[in-house]
Structure 1
Amino acid sequence: MDAIHSLVLETLQRATSQNSDVLKPAEMKLHQWETESGFYTILKNIFCNHSIDNNVRLLAVLYLKNGVDRYWRRSAPNAISEHEKTVIREGLLSNFNEPVNHIAVQTAVLTAKIARYDCPHEWGTLVPTLLAGLKSGDPLVQHRATLSLHHVVKSLASRRLAGDRRVFQELAVTVFTFVYSVWETHTQLFFVKVQENFEEAIKFIEKALLSLKILEKLVVHGFKKPHESQDACLFLKVIFERAKAMLEIRTSLKGVLHELVEKYTIRLTNVLLSVLECHPFSFVDYVRPSLEFAVFYAFTPNGERYLFERFLIQCFNLIKALLLCVEYRPMKILEETKVPETLSAHQIKQAFFDTATLTAICRKIITHYFLLTPQDLQLWESDPETFAMDEGGESWKYTLRPSTELLFVTIFHEYRSTLVPVLVELIRNNHGLVDPSDFQAILAKDAVYNAIGLAAFDMYDEVDFDNWFKTTLRAELGVQGGNYRILRRRVAWLLGKWTGVKLSSELHPLLYSSMMVLLEPSEDMVVRLTAANTIRTVVDDFEFSTETFLEYLEPMFRLLFTLLKEAQECDTKMRVLNVLYFIVERVGISIEPYYHSLIQYLPLLWNESQNHNMLRCAVVATLVHLVKALGSVNDTEEASNFVLSVISLSTDVKQESHVYLLEDGLELWQAVIESTPQPTPSIMQLFSNMPPLLENNSEHLRLCVYIIQAYVVLSPDEFLQVYGQAIVNLCADLLTDLLSEGVVMILSLLELFIKANPTLSVNLLKPLLPKIFEVIYKGDELPMVMSVYLSILARVLLASKEIFIQTTNKLSEIVNQTPDSVISTILDVWLAKMPHVTNMERRKLLGLALSSLLIAQSSKFCGILLAVSEILNDITRVDDMGIRTDSLMFTGQDLSPPSQCYDSRYESEHEHRRILLAMTDPVHAIVMEEFFRSQMDQLKRTVGPTQFEQFVQTVDVETLAQIREYVQI
C-alpha cells in the first residue's frame, strides 16, 4: 500500500508540472486510476498530510472532489465502496486544522458535496462534529469548522425534494440558536478588537461573516414561517442594529478590514432581501424598519456619509422589492382582503410613502443619482463604446445606474398621481436651451430628460411630445460644443423612448433627418451609437412606413455601415449590425441598390469575429434577411462561396461554435436553397452536414425538414439518388421517438419523396412501408397522423401496385394473417377514417387510390362508392353553363411567371418549382370523375354485367343517387 501511495503522490507531483510533456502523461494516469478501489483514500491521505507540497495537496483534493461528483452515488458505474466512503468521511472530520486557506475552502466544498448525498442518514456525526468545532478554543479549528458548516448548510439548503426540505428544517431548529450565539459572540468580539488589534479583528469578522451566511440559509430555507420562530425574529430585528454599527465603524477603517466590513454589511442586507422574497408574510413586521433604514441612508443628508456603491444598490433594491412585492400590492388587496398581513403591509407602505417622502425621493433620484458622474464622463472619453453599451438582464442587482433607474420607474409608476407634478415642474424649470458652457445645467437637464424617458408611459397625458420635438428638442440636436454632446445623446435616446408612446408617425421623416445628422462620422461615437439604436426602435415601431423611409434609406444605410466599420468592439459591431438587418427586414427588395458594400464587408467581419460567437450570430442573421429580401446575395462567386462557407460552419456539429450558430445557420441554409435558381455541386455537397444534425437531436427538426424539402423540390432525381436512402433510414429511426407533430412532419417529407419521383422513392421506402402499413392496419393513430399515413399508402398504390402487394404480403407475415385479410382490414380502417380527412388534396388523393382498388377489392364496393361520391361532391364545381370541373386540376394558366404570382424573387424560385412539381401530382393532373368512370367501366368489363349488377344491388339508394350524377350505372 505504501508503494501505491508513493506512486500516486509522484504522479500528482508530475501533474503540477508546467512542462506539458510531463503533465499530460500524469493526467492520463490519474484518469485511469479514477475507478480503482482505494484511489480516493490515498488522495484523502495526501491532502490531509500538511508536510506535502501545497500544490500537490490542492490537486489531490480537487481530484477527490471530482470523484465524489462522478462515483459517490451508489447507483453510479464504478461507485466508490462503502468502506472507502467511511474512511474518507472520518478523515474529513479530523482535518479542521488545515493551515492553507484555499485548500481549506476546497476541503469544505468537498465535505458539502458528500453531505448532500449522505447527511444525515449515512453521516449523522457530521453536524455534531462541526458544532463541536465551533466551540473549539483553537481559532484555526473554529474557523475551519465554521467554513465547513457554511458550505454544508449551503449544500443541504439547495435540495428541493419535500423529504430533503423537511430534514433541513429539522436541522435548522436544532442548530439555529447555537449558530446565532456564535455569530453574536464573534460580532461583539470584533467590535471590541477593532479598537485594539486589527489582526484579531479580521479573524473575528471573518468567522462572524461565515456564521451570518449560515444563519441566512437557515432562516430562509429552514423555517416554513420564520415569524413563528422567536430566534428567527430576534435575528431579523438585530440586523438593522448590526448594519448601522458596521456602517459607523466602516468610516474609520481602511484596507482589508474596510472590505470585510463592507461585505458583512452587504450580507446583512442580503438577509432582508432573501426573507422578503421567500417569506413575504413573515416580513411584514420589518417592512417599515426596512424602508426607514434604506431611505435614511439613500435619501437623507445624514445618511449620505455612510454610503458606498454596493450598499446603495442594496438599499435601492430593497425599496424596489418592497414596492413590487405581489403580496403587498394594492391590486392584491381587492382579491384577498381577508389576509391581515397583506392589509397590514399595504397600510404600512401607504403611511410611509407620504407626499413629502415621495417628493424628496423623486427629486433626489433625478437631481443627484441621475447626474452623470466624473467616472461616467471619464469612461465616455476613454472607452465610448463601453459607455454606450446598454446594460440588460439582471445588471440592476449589481450595478448602480440600472438599479437607480429601475427604482425610479417602479416608484414613479406606483405613485404616479403624486410624482407627475414633481416631474412636470422639473421639465418646466429645464425647458429652455442651456448655455453650452454651463456644464452643471447640461448635466441637470440630461438627468431630467432621463427621467422623462423612463417615465414615458406614465407621462403620456402630461407632455405634448410632438411639439416639444419640433421646437426645443430639435433645436438642442443642432447645438454644437463639447459639453452639448451630452444633451445630443440624451435627446436621441429620449426620441427612441417616446417613439412607441406618443411620437406621431408624421414626424418620422423629421426624426430620420435628425438622426442622420447624429450619425455623421464627425459626431461623437456615443451620440452616433445612441442614434443608431433610436433608428432601430423607429424601424421596429408598429407605425413604421416603408414608403416614408425609402427617401432616407440610402444615406441612412451608408452612415450606419460607416459606423459599423469604425466600431472597435465586437459587442458594438453586433448592435449596429442588428440595426442594419432590421432595416433590411423591413424594406425588403428596396435594399438591393445599397447592399453590395455590406455583403463585401461581412466576410471581413466574419473572420474578425472568430472568437465572438454572438457577433457571428448577427452576421448570419443579417445574411438571412438579405437573402429573404433579395432572393439571393450570390451575385459574385466570392459572395456565393462566403455564404455557403458560413452555412457549412454554422451547421457542422463537429465545430464548437455550431451550438451558437445552428439555428440562424439553418434559417440561412433554407433561404439559400429556396432562392437558388438551380442546383450547384457546392450546394448539393453542403447537404452532407444534414445527417449528423438529424442524428443528434430533434430540437431543430422543423427547420431541417424544410431544408430537405427544399432540396427535393430543387433537384429531386439527383438528391434522392445520392441522399435518399440515408434520409429514409434516419426518418425510420426518428419515427420511433417523436410525438404526433414530429411524426406528421417526417411522414409529409416521405410523401414529398414519392410525389417528386414516384418510381425511385417507393423503392427507397420499401423497407419502411410494412411499418407504415401496420400503423394503418391497427388504426389507432390520431386523425391528423392517420391521414398522412393513408396518403403515403395511397401514393404507393398509385405509383406501384406491385410494391403495394409486396408490402401487404410482408405485413401479413408480421401480423400472422392472410394477405386478403390484411388488405380487407386496411380498407376497413381506411374507409372508417375518411370522414376525418379534411384536407381537400388528401381527400382527392385517397379517392383516386380507392377508385384504383375497385377491381381488386370489389367486396368493398359499397364503401368505396360512398367515399368516392362524397369526395366528388367536395371537389366538383359547376359553372353557369352547367359544366362540371375538378376544382383541384391545374391548367397552364396556373403556372404564371414568378413576377406576377409573388412579391419577391425569394418566394418565386422555390414556389415556382413547387408549382411545377404539383403539375405532375395525380391530385392536380388527373380528373377524378374521369378516372373513377374509367375504373367503373373496367370493373364492369372484368366481372361481366351480371356480377356488376350484383355489386350494384349492395349499394344503398342514397349512395347510388349520388354516384349516378357522375357515372351511368
Structure 2
Amino acid sequence: MDIDGASSVVLKTLTHATSQDTTVLKPAEEQLRQWETQPGFYSVLLNIFNNHMLDVNVRWLAVLYFKNGIDRYWRRVAPNALSEEEKTTLRAGLITNFNEPVNQIATQIAVLIAKVARLDCPRQWPELIPILLESVLKGQDALQQHRALLTFYHVTKTLSSKRLAQDKRLFQDLASGIYSFACSMWSHHTDLFLQQICARDETAAMASLEKTLLSLKVLRKLTVHGFQEPQQNMEVMGFLNAVFERLKQFLDCCRQIDTGSTCREKLEKTIILYTKVLLDFLEYHPCAFIPLIQCSLEFAVSYVFTPVGEGVTFERFIVQCMNLIKMIVKNDAYKPAKNIEDSKPENLEAHKIKTAFFTHPTLTEIGRRLVSHYFLLTEEELTMWEEDPESFAVEETGGDSWKYSLRPCTEVLFLDIFHNYGQTLTPVLLDMVQNLHGPINVENPVELLMKDAVFNAVGLAAFELFDNVDFDQWFKNQLLGELQVSHHRYKLIRRRVIWLIGQWISVKFKSDLRPLLYEVILSLMQDPDLVVRIETATTLKLTVDDFEFRTEQFLPYLESIFGLLFQLLQQVTECDTKMQVLHVISCVIERVNTQIKPYVGCLVQYLPLLWKQSEEHNMLRCAILTTLVHLVQGLGAESKNLYPFLLPVIQLSTDVSKPPHVYLLEDGLELWYVTLENSPAITPELLRIFQNMSALLELSTENLRTCFQIVNAYLYLSPTEFLQNYAESLCQSFCDLLKDITNEGQVQVLKVVEIALKVSPILGAHMFQSLLPAVLRGVVNGEVGCPSNRSCAHNYPQSESCNYGK
C-alpha cells in the first residue's frame, strides 16, 4: 500500500465507517477489513490518528483498527503478520511525540503502545522505556509530561501482568532500574499537589493530583510485581512506610475540599489507590508485609473505629480499611502452627504483633462498634425497603461483594474477628443481647435499629455461639414474643427474627419445636409487609432443606404454606424475587415428594404463563425448569397431564440451534430425563423431541452422560418404535462420537448399544450392525473398554473373568 497515495482513500473510508447510515457504513467496514492484511495499512492509520486536524471520530476509529491489528497480526507467527521493517517504522512513529489533545484518544494510544510493548519490549524495542522516562522528566509542557506518564503507566501495567518466569525476571530487572525514578516522581507530584491545595489553587492542584495518581499506579505495579524479596529493598519498604503518612495528609485534604467537586472525586480515587497498594502487597508478599502489620492495624482501626475518621472517611475507604484488617486477621502466614515448635520465626513474629495489638479493650471496642454503628440499617436501606421492597429483600451479598460493599464487608469482618477472638467477643455480644431483653418502645427508631443489629450479629455468629446460647429456650421465651408484635414499625424486628431463626436452624434447634416454627412461618407468610414475607419464605427453605426435617411434622401445614408461597410468587414482580420464591417452592416439592399432588393445581396452571412472561429472562427460566423437575418427580405418572406445556419447554431448552439453550440446556436435559422416568408410556410428542439428540451428541459436552440416560430411557419405554424411528441417526452419531471421546465415554456408548440389543435383540442387531465392526476392531486393538457393567479391570476379549460377548 502506497502510504502517501493511500492516506486519502483510507481517510475517506474511515469517515464513511463513522456514518450512521448503514448503506454507507457496511461497505466501508468491509473495505477496512480487506485492508487489514495489506502492507502499509497500519502506517497509514498511524499518520491519520496522529493528525490532530482531522475529525475526532475518524481518529478514534483509526486507533481502534490499529489496536485490533496488534492482536491479530503483530506476532511473527501470526497469519498475514506485519513485516519486521513495517513494525520498526511503526514503533518509532508511536513514540515520536506525546501531545495528543483528546483524553480518550490519548488513553487508547497508551494502551496500544502497551500492547506492542508486551510483545516487543525490551528485546525489539529497547528504546521505549528510556524515551518514556525522558519525556516524563523533560517534557516541554504539562500535556507532554502527562501523556508520557499515562503511557508509562499502561506499559508498566501490561509488562507486570506477564506470568512466564523469564518475563517476570525481565520485569524485575526493569523495576530495579526505574524504581528510584518512579519514587521521586511520585514524591515530587505529591508535594506539589499538597502545596497547591493549601494555596487554594484548585486548577493547578488537579493537574498535579492527576500526575500523582498516575505515578502511584506505576509504583503499585513495580512494588507488588517487581521484586522477588521486596523486604530486602530499602526503597520499597521506605515507600510503603511513607504510604501511611501520605494517606493521612490526603485524608486531611478532604476537610478542605467540598464533597461532589471534581477535585474531591479524584482525591478519593487516589486515597483508594493508596489502600490498594497495601492490600495488593499484603496479598502477594504476606511475609514481607510483617513489618507493616502494626502500622496498618493502627491506621485502619483508628480511622474506622475511633473519632479520628469522623468527617474525612467515606464508604469505599472504610471498606478498604476493613478488608486490610480482615486480611491481617485471617492470613494463615500470621498464625503459629498447631505445634508451636513447628512454626516459622516470621509466623511467630506476625502472631506476636497481632496479639499485642488486639487487646481485650481494642477487641471490645471493635466488636461493639461493628454491631452498634456499622450493622445499623441506613436511611438509604430503609428508604429502599419502603420504595423497592423486592430489591431490598434479595439484595446480593454473596460472592466477592464484601470487597466492595460496606454491609457485606462489615459482616465478613465481624465473622472473621469473632472466629479468631470469640473468647473475648462472646461475652460482649451476649451482654448486648441481655441489654435488649424485653419489650422496646416501637416509637423509638434507635432502639429498633439497635435490636435489629444485635440480632443480626447473633445470627451471623450462630456457629461460634453454639456452646453459649440456649437457642431453643430463647426461641420459646423471647423470640416468639417478638414475632407477635404486629405494629407496622416492628416489621424490622419480625423480619430480623425470622431471618435469625433461619441462621440457627442447622446449628441448634430441637426437632420437636419444628411444628411451632411452622405455625410461625404460616403466620408471617401473611404479614402485611412484603419484605417480611420474602424473608419468611427463605427461612422456610432453610427449614425444609435441613437434615432434621421430618415430612410428617410438616404435612399438617403443607396445604396452607404451599398456597401462601404460590400467592407470594404471583405477588412479586422482579425476576430475582420470582427466582428466589421458585427455589423455595422447588425445595418444598422435593422434600415432600408425591404428597404434594393435591396442592399443585394452581402452580401447574400458572407456570406456563410465567414461562411466557420470562422470555427475556433466561435465569428465571432456569428456576422454572428446576421447579418442573421436582414437580414431575412429585406427580409421578400423573405428570403426563403436563405434556402440552412440558414437552415444548424441553424442546426449546435442548434445541442447540436456539440461543436460549446456552442457559437452559443442563436443566432442560434433566427435565427431559425425569419426564421419561415418570412417563407411563411413550407418546408421539415425547418421541418427536428426540430429534434434538443428534445435535446434542455432536457437542460431546459434560452433558453426554445425561444424553445417554435419556437414550436408555427411550429404549426401555418403547424399544421397537424408538429404534424404528431413530436407530439410524443414533448409530451415525455413535460412530462419530467414538472417534472423539475418552475410553470411559466409549464404554458408555457401548452400554447403550448393549441395552438396545437386550430390549430388542433382532431389531437392535440389525440397526446397529454398521457400528459393531468398528467397535470390535477398537476392542481388539485395546482402544475401547469393556462395555459390561462389571468391575472388570481388563479390556474385552482378554478378560477371563468377564463373560460379556462370549
1:17 is displaced (CA, Å) by: 1.8
- What amino acid sits opposite 1:294 in the alignment? A
Q: What letter matches 1:277 in structure 2?
A: E
Q: Look up the match of 1:578.
A: 583
Deviations 1:266-293 (A, max 9, x none): 1101111111111000000000000000
In 1, Cα distance between the equivalents of 2:340 and 2:710? 53
Length, aligned pairs only: 798
C-alpha deviation, 1:117, in angstroms: 1.4
Q: Which residue of 2 aligns with 1:320?
A: 326
Distance change >3 Å, CA 335–CA 148, structure 1 → 2:
farther
* Partner SS, residue 393 of structure 1: coil
User: Are the equivalent residues in 2 in contact too, given 1:48–1:95 (CA < 8 A)?
Assistant: no
Other-structure match for 2:733: 730
Of 427-436 and 391-400, deviating more is 427-436
Which residue of 2 is the match for residue 197 of structure 1? Answer: 201
1:250 pairs with one of 249, 254, 259: 254
Report deviation, 1:3.
Answer: 4.3
Aligned residue type for 1:710: A
For residues 531 and 750 of structure 2, the distance between their equivalents in structure 1, rounded to whole angstroms, comes to 54
2:602 corresponding residue in structure 1: 597
Q: Which runs of 5+ in 2 are unaligned?
A: none
Q: Deviations over 1:106-143 (max 9, x none)?
A: 11111111211112112222211211121124211111
1:767 corresponds to which residue? 770
Matches within 5 A, 1:858-877: none
In 2, Cα distance between equivalents of 1:530 and 1:790: 50
Does residue 67 of structure 2 align to residue 62 of structure 1? no
Match of 2:468, as an amino acid?
E
The structure-2 alpha-carbon separation of the partners of 1:624 and 1:335, relative to structure 1 and needing over 3 Å to count, comes to farther
Alpha-carbon displacement from aligned partner over 1:7-54 (angstroms, at most 9, x marks no partner): 222222122222233323322332333333332222222211111111
Aligned to 2:350: 345
Give the Å deviation of 1:146: 1.2
Amino acid at match of 1:699: E
Q: Following TM superposition, by how much is the alpha carbon of 1:536 offset from its aligned partner in structure 2, in angstroms?
A: 0.7
How big is each residue's C-alpha offset from its partner over 1:463-502, in whole Å with a ceiling of 9 and x where there is no partner?
Answer: 1111111121111111122220000010011000011111
Match of 1:211 among 187, 212, 215: 215
Shift of 1:720: 2.1
Deviation at 1:634, TM superposition (A): 4.4
Q: Is the 8 A contact 1:578 1:618 kept in 2?
A: yes
Displacement of 1:718 after TM fit?
2.7
**Aligned AA (1:41):** S
Decide which of 374, 380, 395 is 2:379's aligned counterpart: 374
Shift of 1:679: 2.3
1:403 paired residue number: 409
Aligned residue in 2 for 1:897: none
Going from structure 1 to structure 2, the CA distance change for 1:320 and 1:779 (only over 3 Å counts) comes to closer
2:573 aligned with 1:568: yes
Distance 2:494 2:78 in 1: 63
1:385, CA displacement in angstroms?
Answer: 1.0
Q: Which moves more between the two structures, 552-561 or 746-755?
A: 746-755
Identify which of 357, 366, 371 aligns with 1:361. Answer: 366
Give the 3 Å change call, closer, same or farther, for CA 715–72 of structure 1 in structure 2.
farther
Quote the Cα distance in structure 1 between the aligned partners of 2:650 and 2:643.
11
Partner of 1:168: 171
Give the whole-Å Cα distance in 1 for the aligned partners of 2:711 and 2:78.
41
Q: Structure 2 residue aligned with 1:262, among 243, 259, 268?
A: 268
Return the letter of the residue paired with 1:237: N
SS in 2 for 1:660: helix
Cα separation, 2, equivalents of 1:370 and 1:830: 66
Residue 523 of structure 1 and its aligned partner are, at CA, apart by: 1.8
Alpha-carbon spacing, 1:384–1:434, altered in 2? closer, same or farther (3 Å): same
One of 304, 308, 313 as aligned partner of 1:307: 313
SS across alignment from 1:502: coil
Q: Would the aligned equivalents of 2:715 and 2:756 in 1 still touch at CA under 8 Å?
A: yes
Please tell me whether residue 120 in structure 1 is matched to residue 125 in structure 2.
no
Deviations 1:286-326 (A, max 9, x none): 00000000000001112222211000001111000000111
Shift of residue 653, structure 1, vs aligned partner: 1.5
Q: Give the Cα separation in 1 of the matches to 2:338 and 2:46.
A: 56
- Please state whether the residue corresponding to 1:280 is helix, strand or coil: coil
- Spell out, residue by residue over 1:740-766, the C-alpha distance to the aligned partner (whole angstroms, 9 max, x if none): 221211111122222233333333333
Deviates more, 1:283-292 or 1:477-486: 477-486
Q: Residues 333 and 217 from structure 1, CA distance in 2 versus in 1: closer, same or farther, beyond 3 angstroms? A: farther
Taking a change above 3 Å as real, the CA distance of residues 761 and 8 of structure 1, as seen in their structure-2 partners, is farther
Partner residue of 1:795? Answer: none
Find the partner of 1:629 among 629, 634, 640: 634
Give the whole-Å Cα distance in 2 for the aligned partners of 1:297 and 1:352.
15
Please tell me whether residue 11 in structure 1 is matched to residue 16 in structure 2: no
- Distance in 2 separating the partners of 1:772 and 1:790: 19
2:799 paired residue number = 833
Matched, 1:131 2:133: yes
Q: Is the 8 A contact 2:750 2:787 kept in 1?
A: no
Work out the CA distance in 2 between the residues paired with 1:740 and 1:285. 55
Match of 2:103 among 65, 84, 101: 101
> Is residue 418 of structure 1 aligned with residue 424 of structure 2?
yes
- Distance in 2, matches of 1:400 and 1:633, equals 50
User: In 2 relative to 1, CA 558–791 (structure 1 residues): closer, same or farther, beyond 3 Å?
Assistant: closer
Between the aligned partners of 1:653 and 1:787, the Cα distance in structure 2 is 29
8 Å CA contact 1:626–1:633 kept in 2: the answer is: no
Aligned pairs for 1:125-164 within 5 A:
125-135=127-137, 136-164=139-167
1:474 matched to which residue of 2?
Answer: 480
Query: What SS does structure 1 have at the residue aligned with 2:489?
Result: coil
Q: How far, CA to CA, are the matches of 1:14 and 1:238 in structure 2? A: 53
Instruction: Using the TM superposition, give the Cα deviation of residue 437 of structure 1 relative to its aligned residue in structure 2, in angstroms.
Output: 1.5
Q: Give the direction of change, closer, same or farther, for the CA distance of 1:252–1:791 in structure 2 (3 Å limit).
A: closer
Task: Note if contact 1:724-1:764 (Cα within 8 Å) is conserved in structure 2.
Answer: yes
Cα distance change of structure 1 residues 730 and 831 upon mapping to structure 2, 3 Å threshold: closer
Q: Structure 1, residues 144-195: CA drift from partner, whole Å, max 9, x if none?
A: 1111121111111111111111111111111111111111111111111222
Q: Deviations over 1:524-583 (max 9, x none)?
A: 111111111100111111101111111111111111111111111101110011100011
Q: For the structure 1 residues 31 and 831, does the alpha-carbon distance in structure 2 shift closer, same or farther, using more than 3 Å as the test? A: closer
Map of 1:546 onto structure 2: 551
Could you tell me whether the CA contact under 8 Å between 1:326 and 1:332 is conserved in 2?
A: no
Q: CA deviation at 1:416?
A: 0.7
Could you say which structure has the larger radius of gyration?
1
- The one-letter code matched in structure 2 to 1:448 is V
Q: Distance in 2 between matches of 1:167 and 1:488?
A: 61
Describe the SS at the equivalent of 1:513: helix
Cα separation, 2, equivalents of 1:27 and 1:515: 62
Question: Map of 1:452-491 to 2, 5 A cutoff?
Answer: 452-491=458-497
Give the gaps of 5 or more residues in structure 1.
793-827, 838-842, 850-969
Identity of aligned residues (%): 50
Note if contact 2:727-2:768 (Cα within 8 Å) is conserved in structure 1.
no
Cα offsets for 1:569-619 (capped at 9, x unmatched):
101110011100011111100111111211211122222222222111101
Question: In the TM superposition, what whole-angstrom CA distance separates every residue of 1:204-256 from its partner, at most 9, and x where no partner exists?
Answer: 11111111111111111111111111111111010000000000001111301
Residue 33 (1) aligns with residue 35 (2): yes
- Amino acid corresponding to residue 490 of structure 1 in structure 2: R
The answer on whether the counterparts of 2:652 and 2:658 sit within 8 Å (CA) in structure 1 is yes
Counterpart check, 1:296 vs 2:310: no
For the Cα contact (< 8 Å) 2:335–2:348, is it kept in 1? no
Superposition RMSD in Å = 2.0
Which stretch of structure 1 is more off in the superposition, 768-777 or 119-128?
768-777
Deviation of the 1:681 alpha carbon? 2.5
Displacement of 1:779 in angstroms is 4.8
CA distance, structure 2, for counterparts of residue 332 and residue 30 of structure 1: 66
Provide TM-score, normalisation by structure 1: 0.80
Structure 2 vs 1, CA of residues 647 and 529 (structure 1 numbering), >3 Å: closer, same or farther?
A: same
Mapped partners of 1:719, 1:222: distance in 2: 65
1:689 aligns with 692
1:751 touches 1:791 (CA, 8 Å); kept in 2? no
The AA in structure 1 aligned to 2:53 is S
Q: Which residue of 2 aligns with 1:81?
A: 83
